[in-house]
Amino acid sequence: MKTVRVLVCSYPGIFADTVIKELQEYQAIEIVGLVYSERIFSAHESWIGGAIRMLKTSGINYAVMQFMQTDLYLLLKYLRFCVSLDRQIPVITTKDINSPMGLSFIKSLNADVLLLANFNQKVSSAVISSPTIACLNIHPSTLPNFKGVDPVFAALYAGEKKLGVTVHLVDDNFDTGDIIDQAIIPTDENRSVFKHQVHLFQHGGKLAANIIKTLPQSIEILTKNIGGNYDSWPTKAKIKSFKKRGKSLIKPIEYISALKSLFIH
């Protein structure tokens, strides 16, 4: 059995590890490296500057949700409360994957597949063409609908009764490459945005693994990714309206449940 070498690009946190965990279930898949983004918005902006901009744009409740699924989770990993799924995998942390350092790291690993999941950087044509087989992205929406920064919040805010996750080819724009596979799940009125996100990245990891493990045969395109809408960061007004409808961004019990079921020793 040929092993497919995969390089994963993500933002460090629960969603990254959710996808890594799904890939590690398959002996035919070897994760040879990780590229972690260390920026919130711009490559030229500090982490503190990005955090302040998030607070100004989306408010404290949204910032807390982001903190819990990223920095708080990383602290729990550091304190050894959570399994370090990436402990023995080469890692680079960068504000710009397209920099000479980023490209050098990627090329040194000779990956068959580059897999993006919750990665907040636009990749160059040099990065896209670096893997020997394909560059893929896991996007938690029913593309071409809900392209953009937080498609799960956008879909729930719009009152969608179904959510989805899509694996698609990466091209020169955000979330516009040809669609390879897609899964649909019903929304749950009792679930928070965070819980839906975890569920979708679990499904997305499975979809991606099922595609990757069959390579290097040619990738079949399910459909073109034409049209749709693009949403940026949710505004304070949208968050306030969302919460007024009785919706929640994150529930502590769901957060603890996610840790227990997926990551706690």
Sign, CA dihedral 166-169-175-177, equals negative
In three-state secondary structure terms, 177 is: coil
Structure tokens at 101: 């350092």
- The dihedrals phi and psi of 34, each to the nearest 5 degrees, come to -135, 135
Q: How many Cα atoms are found within 13 Å in the side-chain-facing hemisphere of 95?
A: 10
Can you give the pTM of this predicted structure? 0.96
CA 169 to each of CA 137, 152, 180, 228: distance values in angstroms, whole numbers, following the listed order: 6, 20, 7, 16
Beta strand spans in the chain (E): 4-10, 29-37, 91-94, 113-117, 134-139, 147-148, 162-169, 179-186, 230-231
CA torsion angle 87 91 94 96 (round to 10): -140
Q: How many Cα atoms are found within 13 Å in the side-chain-facing hemisphere of 252?
A: 0
Domains of the chain with CATH codes: 4-262 (3.40.50.170)
Structure tokens at 103: 């490209």
Within 10 A of 181 (CB to CB), how many other CB atoms are there? 19
**Catalytic: 168?**
no
> In whole angstroms, what is the distance from residue 42 CA to residue 130 CA?
23
pLDDT of residue 39: 93
> In whole angstroms, what is the distance from residue 162 CA to residue 164 CA?
7
- Mean pLDDT by runs of 10 across the 265 residues of the chain is 92 95 94 96 90 96 97 89 81 96 96 97 96 96 96 97 97 94 95 97 97 84 92 96 97 92 63
- The one-letter code for the residue type at 166 is T
How many residues in the chain?
Answer: 265
pLDDT of residue 265: 45
Is residue 198 a contact partner of residue 174, using CB atoms and an 8 Å limit?
Answer: no
The catalytic residue among 139, 168, 196, 203 is: 139
